[in-house]
Structure 1
Amino acid sequence: MQILYFAWVRQKVGLGQEALDLPADVADVAGLIRFLSARSPGHAAAFAQAKQIRAAVNQEFCAPDHPVRNGDEVAFFPPVTGG
């Protein structure tokens, strides 16, 4: 699985991207966020306010209950505003 981080999420995590094998007990975006939060203090800080983070799986915006699997690309970023 490829994980991408953007904007302040990237700054807090300290990485722009990382590859990982999805643990068997992670089935959706919310579970992935919980898993990532435990990886480092930077991850924990980035996901401390998980409701402020948007996710996309395979370049499609999705809700926290969206399923994830190995081979997916998951991106995390702050809410996007237009103008």
Structure 2
Amino acid sequence: MKVLYFAWLKTKTGVGEEELSPPAGVATVAQLLDWLEARSPGHGEALADRHAIRIAVNQEYARPGDPVKAGDEIALFPPVTGG
């Protein structure tokens, strides 16, 4: 699974992308975020406010209950605003 971090999420985690193999119990977006949050203090800080994060699974917007699996590309980014 490839996890991509954008904007301040990249700054707080200290990485732009990671290749990860979450444990078997991680089957949804919410479970993945919980697991990622525990990876480091930076991940914890970046993922503390879930309302400030948007998630895409394989380039499609995703909700907390949506499934994730090995081989997926997960992108985490702040809400996009226009002007």
Map Cα deviations across residues 24-63 of structure 1 (whole Å, 9 max, x no partner).
0111111000000000000000001012100000000111
Give the count of matched residue pairs: 83
1:79 maps to 79
Superposed CA RMSD: 0.6
Instruction: Note the residue ranges of structure 1 that are not aligned, 5 or more in a row.
Output: none
Q: Percent identity?
A: 58
Corresponding residue number in structure 1 for 2:15: 15
Match of 2:67 in 1: 67
How far apart, CA to CA, are the structure 2 residues paired with 1:48 and 1:29? Answer: 15
1:25 aligns with 2:25: yes
Q: Secondary structure at the match of 2:79?
A: coil
Unaligned runs of 5+ in 2: none
Please give the TM-score of this superposition, normalised by the length of structure 1. Answer: 0.97
